[in-house]
Structures are given as structure tokens and as C-alpha cells.
Amino acid sequence: MTKPESNNNIDYNSNYRLSVQVSLNGLSFLILDDASSVTHFKKEIDFPESHNPDEVLSKIESTFNQFEELLMPLKDVTVIHQNTLFSLVPKAIFQEDNLEHYLKLNTRVFPTDFIAYDRPDNLDFVLVYVPLTNVNNYFFDRYGGFTYLHSSTVFIEKMLLKERNDQSLKLFVKLNKEQMDVLVTSGKNIQLFNSFHYSTPEDFIYYILFIAEQLQLNPETIPLQLSGNVSEKDAYFDMAYTYIRNVTIEKENNPNTLQIV
């Protein structure tokens, strides 16, 4: 994750932190009062169809113009990028000079792409990815300094820290709009992580069962935890429960979180 050194427009006397999640399918904004942990502002914007980077930036600009809450002094700004343009690399073999090589293994990289990476403390992976450069430039121009990282880093880090004392195999699936993140863990170890585009419950269960087959996970016994855009009353939960015997939905302990759209 990257944080520019300059902080021209950040007010350290403020109690408010802004987080913005960005994808080609939508945006989420959250302002949290750091002193009371109370949500001051929350807005989710779903795009009817996928946008290009310029259209995403235009929507961000119009949102700032529309909501005066986003103009308040802030002590911290975080931008979270959600896309499938990433690769997970073990820290033991990671080399900063090889960023493009890591991405070429599973995605198309253009010469003009800026490649970034997140390197979480106390965890054994580095996530290499392509952020929306025009969005980052906008926030740098607006605030002078901010943190940015990939949504997969947030998801993996949260699950690994939660499961660090449990060495049993577990399967986690986070449903975002048109993108599902699949993580298999054993304690703090990643057995598999990948993201897939999906549009139907049949797509969703296909990827889960394919991964279970490849890793020889028993659908009768493997715990599957769902999170994101899913509930016990929708077709995705029903489809999962048809094939996997131990299915739960994550209960969000902290309501002051952003939903990746």
C-alpha cells in the first residue's frame, strides 16, 4: 500500500477519516468520526453498467460537488481499488523490479499502466495490482496525501488475522457486484486466492465447486463463509447450501464499514 509523503490538505486536528472504495461498477464513501467510531457520512453509488476510468473519475467529482459532508476537514484519506488486475506473490520471492512480470502471469498489462503493490505487515504475501491512476491523481491533487490499496488486500488480511489461531481448512467467498473473491485458508496460510467475474448463481457455484475439486476439499465438511452482497434469502445462498453442507454468512460486527460494489 502506498502513502505519499506530502499532506498539504490533511488536517490532523480533525477527528474524521474518509474511505472511498472505487470500481468500474460503483463507488462507496464513508466518513468515520475517529473519536466516537460513529459514521458521519456513508454513500454507495451503483453504476447501471460498467464505466471506464474517465467516467468513474467524473462520478467521483460530481459526488464531491453534490455532498457538502465530503468537503469537511479530514485527518486521513484512504482509497481502495477493486478490480481483477492483480497477482498474489509470496514475500519470500517478491522483487520490486519484477512487478510487471507478476501481473503478466494472469492479466494483460499495457505499457502505460502504473503498477503498485500492497505489503501487509506480519503477513507473508504481497499483492501486486493496477490502480486507477487518474483516480489516484485526483485524490493527490485534492488532499496532497492519502493511502491507497487493493480491496483484495483488505479482504485477505481481515480473514487471515481472524483465522490465525485455527489451522483447519476454511473457504471464504466475498460477493461484490459481478466479481467474487475466493479465499482458502489454513490458519495464517493462504492455500488459494482468486477473483472471478460472475453474473448468475450457476457461475457462482461453478467456481466454488471447481476450486473444491482442485484442492480436494470435501463439500460435506469444508466450512464456507459468505460475505458481501448476499443474504440467507437470496438465490446465491440457496445455491451454496444445495452443494455445501456447512454454509454461513459473515455477521458484520462493525457497521462502520464500506461495501465494495
Q: Domain count of the chain? A: 2
Q: Are residues 146 and 221 in the same domain?
A: no
> Average pLDDT of 89-100?
94
Better-scored residue on pLDDT, 61 or 10: 61
Q: Are residues 41 and 158 in the same domain?
A: yes
214 pLDDT exceeds 90? yes
What's 26's domain CATH number?
Answer: 3.30.420.250
Q: Are residues 97 and 219 in the same domain?
A: no
80, part of any domain: yes
Domain that residue 240 falls in? 163-249
pLDDT at site 261 = 40
* DSSP codes, 138-206: HHHHHHS--EEEEHHHHHHHHHHHHTTT--SEEEEEEEETTEEEEEEEETTEEEEEEEEE--SHHHHHH
Q: Which three cell numbers stand for residue 117?
A: 503493490
Q: Are residues 60 and 169 in the same domain?
A: no
pLDDT at site 4 = 41
Segment among 63-77, 81-95, 102-116 with least mean pLDDT: 102-116
Q: Are residues 156 and 167 in the same domain?
A: no
256, part of any domain: no
Question: Would the pTM count as exceeding 0.85?
Answer: yes
Q: Are residues 25 and 150 in the same domain?
A: yes
Q: Are residues 157 and 176 in the same domain?
A: no
Q: Are residues 109 and 49 in the same domain?
A: yes
Q: Are residues 153 and 239 in the same domain?
A: no
pLDDT at site 166 = 85
261, part of any domain: no
> Average pLDDT of 21-25?
96
257 pLDDT exceeds 80? no
6 pLDDT exceeds 50? no
Please list, in sequence order, all residues whose beta carbon lies within 8 angstroms of the beta carbon of residue 57, skipping any fewer than 6 positions away. Answer: 132, 134, 135, 138
Residue matched to cell numbers 479530514: 74
> Average pLDDT of 68-82?
94
Q: Are residues 28 and 110 in the same domain?
A: yes
97, part of any domain: yes
